[in-house]
Copies of this chain bind each other. A is one copy, B any other.
Amino acid sequence: MALIHIIEKFQPRNDEALLAKAEAAAPALHHSTHHPKTAWLGLPGRGGRLLPAGTLTPLEKGDTLVLDLGDHYVGTCRLTLTTRGSHPDAPAWLRLRFAEILDELYEAPEDYHGWVSSSWIQDERVHVDLLPGELALPRRYAFRYLAVEVLDTSPKYKLVVDELTVDATTSADDDALPQVRVTDPELDRVYRVGLRTLRSCMQREFEDGPKRDRRLWIGDLRLQALSNAASYRNMDLVRRCLYLFGGTRFPDGRVSACLFTQPEPAADDTWLFDYGLFYPVILEEYLRERPDPEALADLGPIALEQLHYALGLVGADGVVNETATANTFVDWQETMDKTACAQSILIYALGYGEALANRLRRALEAGELAAQRAALAKTARARFWDPARERVVSGGQENLASLVWMILAGVLTPQEADRALAQADELSKNGPMMTPYMHHYYITALLIAGRREQALGHIRYYWSSMIRAGADTFWEAWIPEHPDASPYGGRVINSYCHAWSCTPVYLLHTHFPELLASI
């Protein structure tokens, strides 16, 4: 997720007591050491030559060595460097490009001029003064491939990369994983790549993407928390993230859409209508997994505040207003009308809010929320549902996202949902879903509508297509029919290990248990 919202003179409100609890729940990071499995001289797939195992190739000016770890890791690294020829009489000047997928190496970073900062491209230039020696890089990278380009040595010596050592980190504990496999091999591969994705994003927080932007975003967190509950079950990490959002809020009490934890926890000056509404959803889902009276007492009222704030954005006509719709994400589809989505997500979240209010023994408030929910659903049905054509229409548009969220909000009956979803492919033509995040909600809508085979087929189709295109971890954005699409103006900036794409872990584990077998 990446968005640019700017509030002048933004003064977020930190609650140190809540942040202390967030810090207390911070996970230990597990470390593991990795080395390249294979190496090429030149770019693989672009004329590069696979080097025999154990080859130490002396590199001269202009040479590029590509090292392949064989899988995706997040961590720091160091290079052990030696030389051939005379004593080095000048520094080695290296360009180091870290890539999650090979395609990133095929694009020239200097050609990227999109709206997300090019500073995220993992592209370093380093001078090494002392050779032989070890080059320990101070930053963390998310990568499978490292391309070492020799910008210069000197005519007197060649450079040898003796070894690359990666110190990978994650707060995911492999020992906690359920010992299961998916009996369908293709879906098992999807399941494992999903686990790998989640694992790489689990650091001190649930990051949205360890390459970019690394922040904690609510929308991503919701899907990570679901998948985590079905796999690594690091519930303290979910607790930590909930406390972080609760502890770093807007002056008026809203939770931000995303937050920073470094140098100090701080809300970003970005609020999203739908993301704010997911806060009560995530809290309620967390409490369903693990009783936590303290978190309920601390965070439950904050979660309910989000609902009340959102309800304040419902107009006299019973429909969410422009402030709500203009700040609703749903998916990267710029021309999509989001009124039905925003209304539906409010309805959807109110269901979780009722549950929280009941947990807090606020029966009156629970009743109020239920009443609001019913009223909003009624308006939504009247406004957005065309019963004759069995279509959802939002702002004159028929789009798949509106249909999906009307189903998830329970505005349509399962039977209506089933019949309306028959038009999904056609609706997609009005604007293809761009993110695995949206695909996740599409699949849950299919499940509600009883279209289990179609849901499974879509998991297979969509996530497998990423694997066929080279994914070791699932991607931030992907349209199988438009492999070059990027919401950011260039694929080199895309995140290829992105939290919100890990949900086959949750979907397969929770909704298709019959496909799982012990290992």
Closest B residue to A2 by CB, please name it: B89
Q: How far is the CB of A37 from chain B (nearest CB, A)?
A: 27
* Alpha-carbon distance between A125 and B119 when the two chains are bound, in angstroms: 11
CB interface residues, A 113-148, toward B, < 8 Å: 115-120, 124-125, 127, 129-133, 139
A89-B6 in contact (CB<8A): no
Bound CA–CA A405/B116 (angstroms)? 64
Contact A7 B152 (CB under 8 A): no
A268 near B86 with CB under 8 A, answer yes
Q: How near does chain B come to A93, taking the closest CB pair, in angstroms?
A: 4
Please state if B86 and A117 are interface contacts (CB–CB under 8 Å). no
Task: List B contacts of A125 (CB < 8 A).
Answer: 124-125
Q: Report if A519 contacts B (CB, 8 A).
A: no
Contacts of A124 in B (CB 8 A): 125, 127
Instruction: Check B90–A119 contact: CB distance below 8 A.
Output: yes
Does A48 lie at the interface of the complex (its beta carbon under 8 Å from any beta carbon of B)?
no
User: Copies per complex?
Assistant: 2
CB distance from A352 to the nearest CB of B (A): 28
Q: Do A117 and B269 form a contact, CB below 8 Å, given A86-B10, A87-B260?
A: no
Indicate if A47 sits at the interface (CB-CB under 8 A). Answer: no
| Min CB–CB distance A74 → chain B (angstroms) | 14
- A511 interfacial by beta-carbon distance below 8 Å: no
Q: How far is the CB of A328 from chain B (nearest CB, A)?
A: 20
Assembly CA distance A119 to B60 (angstroms): 13
A16 to chain B, nearest CB (A): 18
Inter-chain contact B117/A154, CB cutoff 8 Å: yes
Tell which of B92, B139, B156 touches A129, judged by Cβ atoms closer than 8 Å. Answer: B139
Shortest beta-carbon distance from A209 to chain B in Å: 12
Chain B residues, CB < 8 A from A2: 89
Instruction: Contact check, B133 vs A263: say whether CB atoms are below 8 A apart.
Output: yes
A4 at the interface (CB under 8 A from B): yes
Given contacts A89-B213, A89-B268, contact A117 B262 (CB under 8 A): no
- Residues of A79-101 at the interface with B, using a CB-CB cut-off of 8 Å, are 85-87, 89-93
Q: How far is the CB of A2 from chain B (nearest CB, A)?
A: 8
**Across the interface, do A86 and B7 meet the contact criterion of CB distance under 8 Å?**
yes
18 contacts between A and B (CB under 8 A): A2-B89, A4-B155, A6-B85, A6-B86, A6-B156, A7-B86, A87-B266, A87-B268, A89-B268, A90-B212, A91-B117, A91-B119, A92-B119, A93-B118, A116-B154, A118-B151, A119-B154, A127-B139
Question: What residues make up the interface of A, taking CB atoms closer than 8 Å to B?
Answer: 2, 4, 6-7, 10, 85-87, 89-93, 115-120, 124-125, 127, 129-133, 139, 151-156, 212-213, 215, 260, 262-263, 266, 268-269
